[in-house]
Amino acid sequence: MVGETLNAPPRAASTIPAPGTLPKSLLYSIFARIGGSGLDTDAFETLRASYRGGFLGKAVAYDNRQTEIPASKIHSLRWHPVRLLSSLDSPYYYGAKKKYLDWIAARQLATGRYDMFHSWSGDCLLSLREAHKRGILSIVEIPTWHRDRGKIKRAPANGTADEPQLPWAQRWKEDLLLQRDRFLEEYDLADLILVLSEKAADTFRVQGFPEEKLFYLPRGVDVERFTPGLRPPHFRAVFSGALIERKGVHHLLTAWRRLNLKNAELWLVGSVHAEMKP
């Protein structure tokens, strides 16, 4: 059922609040702005709900573009030292920004003022370690799928291969990248994982994650703001975002071909990644 833990068995005693109870003070962190479009809107709606619920402690984000939630509740990182690395290629620069956000959030948790932490996959390894150490309930939101994209769980390797040691001049830059192991450790440390679809949940199930750790919460819509317009003469569907397997675009294309609709158009708006090119 939407908005419930998937097939959850009775929970043993733990730090997780009983159903119907609310945290006293939530720390929320996200690699986005509060208020705007896209992910910025998701962040704002989440924070607005927690603020109206009376349990928002603080949010750490890269800017604040709304006025409903008091600015005192937002730790804005609009002016941050990682700007000095802005000339780097985007994977390095964005990796550095995510790790800086994570470091700031971990310092907030270390104050002991919070009893719940909510963040996003890739943004929160240090924070989750701090939350785990302090017994703070943690929630990680997965924007797409498990990092292994639903592949069958692999057996652990026998022994570890020696990794080549890069010279420091190269190593510091490589350390900025978000490696796969970072995401996997976040999954393990989180008390609850929010997924947007049953397909996303399946990619965690195949890796052995228990049902009680998966919470299905698809994106909603404000029906008072967004209403259907006049039906056009041709049916038109639009996808906006990175054209990449991680977004499930290949599944969309397969489904569209199977529909074989007449007088219909599928628009794909976004940058085409190499893996999607014919």
For residue range 261-274, list pLDDT tens digits in order: 988 999 999 888 87
Helix (H, G, I), strand (E, B) or coil at 100: helix
- Give the integer Cα–Cα distance in Å for 16 and 140: 14
Per residue in 217-229, pLDDT (tens digit) is 887 777 887 888 8
* pLDDT in the model for residue 10: 41
Q: Which of 165-179, 232-246, 255-269 is predicted least confidently? A: 165-179
Domains, the chain, ordered by start: 4-11+23-216 (3.40.50), 235-276 (no CATH)
- Nearest residue to 126 via CA among 151, 101, 150, 145: 101
* pLDDT in the model for residue 12: 38
Distance from first CA to last CA of the chain, Å, rounded? 38
Amino acid identity of residue 244, one-letter, is I
- Nearest residue to 276 via CA among 253, 251, 243: 243
The reported pTM is 0.78
CA atoms within 13 A on the CB side of 142: 31
Per residue in 39-65, pLDDT (tens digit) is 898 899 999 999 999 999 999 999 999
Helix (H, G, I), strand (E, B) or coil at 106: helix
Task: Please answer whether residues 127 and 116 qualify as being in contact, where contact means their C-beta atoms are separated by less than 8 angstroms.
Answer: no
Per residue in 105-138, pLDDT (tens digit) is 999 999 999 999 999 999 999 999 999 999 999 9
